[in-house]
C-alpha cells in the first residue's frame, strides 16, 4: 500500500507557530494552572480576574471555541458560558 507523502510548507509552519504564539504571551502561562481548571463547583473568580488583564484573551477564546474545549476557563469564559455563546452564534 502506498502512502501519500505530504510535505509541510513554510506557510503551514508559520500559520501553526502563529496560532500557538499567543499562548506564550498569555497571563495564565505565568499563573497556577489549577485556577483555570477548578473542581466541579469550584470558584472561577481568580482565573477570570487573570483573563481580564490578558492581552491575548480574544485569541484564547477563539481557540477554545474552534477546538471545542470542554473544560477550564478560556478567554475569560467557563465551559457553560462558551456553550451559551456558541448557541447564540447559531
Annotated binding site for [4Fe-4S] cluster: 28, 51, 54, 60
Place of cell 506564550: 24
Q: Is 72 left (phi over 0), alpha (psi -120 to 50) or beta?
A: left
Contact 89, 67 (CB under 8 A): no
Amino acid at each position: 500500500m502506498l502512502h501519500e507523502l505530504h510535505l509541510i510548507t513554510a506557510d503551514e509552519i508559520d500559520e501553526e507557530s502563529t496560532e500557538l504564539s499567543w499562548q506564550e504571551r498569555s497571563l495564565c502561562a505565568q499563573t497556577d494552572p489549577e485556577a483555570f481548571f477548578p473542581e466541579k463547583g469550584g470558584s472561577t473568580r481568580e482565573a477570570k480576574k487573570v483573563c481580564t488583564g490578558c492581552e491575548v484573551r480574544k485569541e484564547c477564546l477563539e481557540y477554545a471555541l474552534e477546538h471545542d474545549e470542554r473544560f477550564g476557563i478560556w478567554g475569560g469564559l467557563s465551559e457553560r458560558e462558551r456553550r451559551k455563546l456558541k448557541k447564540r452564534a447559531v
